């Protein structure tokens, strides 16, 4: 019993699910559900279909190269059963999984970080420029409790002492 990868979307095909198609040149295609199967029959290229893993990897959305991928490799030579080895393998799988998923999420976070920073910068700029639409500048200057901006104050001893209680 083996878990296969769907040829189209690269998700795992569990036993009892999906369809296997064997072509005349003896190449076997596994599909996880009829959606992938029908897309295949329409001759669509998974690398161009946005929701597939192939697309995401190709366009750098998901992590491509990592040492954690080296652990999972189809082995054709059977190994003699060893209980300790089996135990270690099972424990290792969990750890490797965790590390891989952490790295993958880091990858995505990094990718999204520049966007986030940029959005923040834009937001700040917009706040500065557009506050006059919401509050009159004169009103803001007078009533410091309603200030939304940071007031630039000269640093001197007395004033810093004043500021400290306010900040707290």
Residue 12 found at the interface with another protein (CB under 8 A)? yes
Q: Is 75 in the site for another protein (CB under 8 A)?
A: yes
CB of 88 to another protein, least distance (A): 6
Beta-carbon contacts of residue 60 (< 8 Å; ≥ 6 apart): 111
Distance, in Å, from the CA atom of 158 to the CA atom of 145, rounded to the nearest integer, reads: 20
Selected binder of another protein within 96, 104, 131, 140 (CB under 8 A): 96
Give whichever of 39 and 68 is closer to another protein, judged by the CB atom.
Answer: 68
Give the C-alpha separation, 39 to 76, whole Å: 31
Q: Is 107 exposed, middle or buried (0-12, 13-18, 19+ CB in 10 A)?
A: middle
Residue 113 backbone zone (phi > 0: left; psi -120 to 50: alpha; other: beta): alpha
Q: Compare residues 72 and 122 and give the one whose CB is closer to another protein.
A: 72
Q: Which stretch binds another protein (CB under 8 A): 33-41, 54-62, 88-96, 112-120?
A: 88-96
Interface pick for another protein out of 20, 82, 112, 141 (rule CB under 8 A): 82
Which residues are within 8 A (CB) of 78 and not within 5 positions of it... i.e. 6 or more apart? none
Q: How far is the CB of 102 from another protein (least distance, A)?
A: 8
Q: How far is the CB of 27 from another protein (least distance, A)?
A: 20
**What is the spatial distance between Cα 16 and Cα 49, in angstroms, rounded to a whole number?**
26
Q: Which residues contact another protein (rule: CB under 8 A)? A: 1-3, 12, 67-68, 70-75, 79-83, 85-86, 88-90, 92-97, 99
């Amino acid at each position: 019993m083996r878990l296969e990868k769907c040829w189209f979307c690269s998700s795992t095909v569990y036993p009892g699910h999906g369809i296997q198609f064997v072509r005349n040149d003896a190449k076997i295609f596994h599909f996880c559900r009829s959606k992938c199967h029908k897309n295949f029959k329409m001759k669509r290229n998974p690398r161009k279909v946005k929701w597939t893993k192939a697309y995401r990897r190709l366009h750098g959305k998901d992590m491509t190269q990592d040492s954690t991928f080296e652990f999972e490799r189809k082995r054709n030579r059977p190994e003699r059963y060893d209980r300790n080895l089996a135990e270690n393998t099972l424990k290792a799988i969990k750890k490797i999984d965790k590390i891989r998923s952490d790295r993958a999420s880091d990858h995505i976070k990094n990718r999204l970080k520049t966007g986030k920073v940029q959005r923040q910068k834009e937001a700040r700029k917009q706040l500065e420029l557009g506050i006059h639409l919401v509050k009159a500048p004169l009103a803001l200057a007078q009533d410091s409790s309603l200030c939304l901006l940071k007031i630039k104050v000269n640093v001197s001893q007395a004033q810093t002492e004043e500021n400290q209680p306010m900040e707290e």
